[in-house]
C-alpha cells in the first residue's frame, strides 16, 4: 500500500498511528501538496490533491477518517478500535465529527497564525480553540478515553491534534485530562 503523507500533518499522523496499532506497513511517499508540481501529480490519483492519500491495490482513499476506518475494517483483528455496537460507535463517530468540525479546524487556525502567519491571531480564534479544548477536556474527564472504556480511533484522531498543539507549545495546563491523553 502506498501512503502519500507529510509527518507534520495531524491527519497523516492519525493514519500512521492506526496503521502501527494494526501492524500495517506502508510504502511511504513523503509529499508536500503545497508545491504546484506535487499537487498536479497527486491530482492524478486524488482530485482533491490532499494528504493523506492511500492507494491499496489500485483502490484510492483520501480523507484520514475514511482511510483509518477502511484499514480497521479490512485489517483489524477485532472491532475494538471502531466498535460495531451502534451505541458505542455513535459516540466514536460523534467524537470524530467533533474533531473534524471543531478541534482540528481550531488547531489549524491557531497553527496558521503562529507558523504560516497567513492571518492575525484574534480573540475569536483563541476562543474557538479554548471552547474545543474545553469540550475535549469534558469528554476525557467523563471516562479514561474520549468515546469508550477503551482506546478507539476517536482517541487516536484527537491525540494527533493535541500533539500538534504540544509541538506549538500551547499551554495545556488548564486541561489535565487532555494532558493525560497525550502522555
What would the pLDDT profile of 7-27 be if each residue is shown by its tens digit? 989 999 999 999 999 999 999
CB-based burial of residue 42 (10 Å sphere; 0-12 exposed, 13-18 middle, 19+ buried)? Answer: buried
pLDDT under 70 in the chain at which residues?
Answer: 182-183
The beta strands (E) that lie in the chain are given as: 2-5, 27-30, 53-56, 59-62
**First-last CA distance in the chain:** 30
- What pLDDT sits at residue 65? 97
- What pLDDT sits at residue 182? 65
Grid-cell match 484520514, residue found: 64
pTM strictly above 0.85? yes
Fold type of domain 86-182: Glutathione S-transferase Yfyf (Class Pi); Chain A, domain 2 (1.20.1050)
SS3 content of the chain, % helix, strand, coil (to 5): 60, 10, 35
What would the pLDDT profile of 44-69 be if each residue is shown by its tens digit? 999 998 999 999 999 999 999 999 99
Crossing angle of helices 10-22 and 64-75, in 10° steps, is 0
- CA 10, CA 49: separation in Å to the nearest integer? 16
Q: Which residues are catalytic?
A: 9
Find the helix or strand (DSSP H, E) in which 145 lies: none
Determine contact, residues 85/35, Cβ cutoff 8 Å: no
Residue 51's closest CA among 29, 19, 36, 18? 29
For 2-75, CATH gives 3.40.30.10
Helices and strands (H and E) in the chain: how many:
8, 4
Would you kindly state where each structural domain of the chain is located, as residue ranges? 2-75, 86-182
Amino acid at each position: 500500500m502506498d501512503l502519500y503523507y507529510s509527518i507534520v500533518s495531524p491527519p497523516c499522523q492519525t493514519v500512521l498511528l492506526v496503521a502501527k496499532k494494526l501492524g500495517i506497513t506502508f510504502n511511504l511517499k513523503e509529499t508536500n501538496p503545497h508545491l504546484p508540481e506535487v499537487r498536479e501529480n497527486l491530482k492524478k490519483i486524488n482530485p482533491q490533491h490532499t494528504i493523506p492519500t492511500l492507494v491499496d491495490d489500485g483502490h484510492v482513499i483520501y480523507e484520514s477518517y475514511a482511510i483509518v476506518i477502511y484499514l480497521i475494517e479490512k485489517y483489524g483483528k477485532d472491532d475494538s478500535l471502531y466498535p460495531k455496537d451502534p451505541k458505542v460507535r455513535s459516540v466514536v463517530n460523534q467524537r470524530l465529527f467533533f474533531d473534524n468540525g471543531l478541534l482540528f479546524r481550531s488547531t489549524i487556525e491557531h497553527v496558521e497564525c503562529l507558523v504560516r502567519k497567513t492571518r492575525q491571531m484574534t480573540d475569536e480564534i483563541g476562543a474557538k480553540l479554548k471552547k474545543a479544548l474545553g469540550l475535549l477536556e469534558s469528554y476525557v474527564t467523563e471516562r479514561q478515553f474520549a468515546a469508550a472504556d477503551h482506546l478507539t480511533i476517536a482517541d487516536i484522531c484527537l491525540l494527533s491534534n493535541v500533539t500538534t498543539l504540544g509541538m506549538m507549545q500551547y499551554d495545556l495546563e488548564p486541561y489535565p485530562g487532555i494532558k493525560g491523553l497525550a502522555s
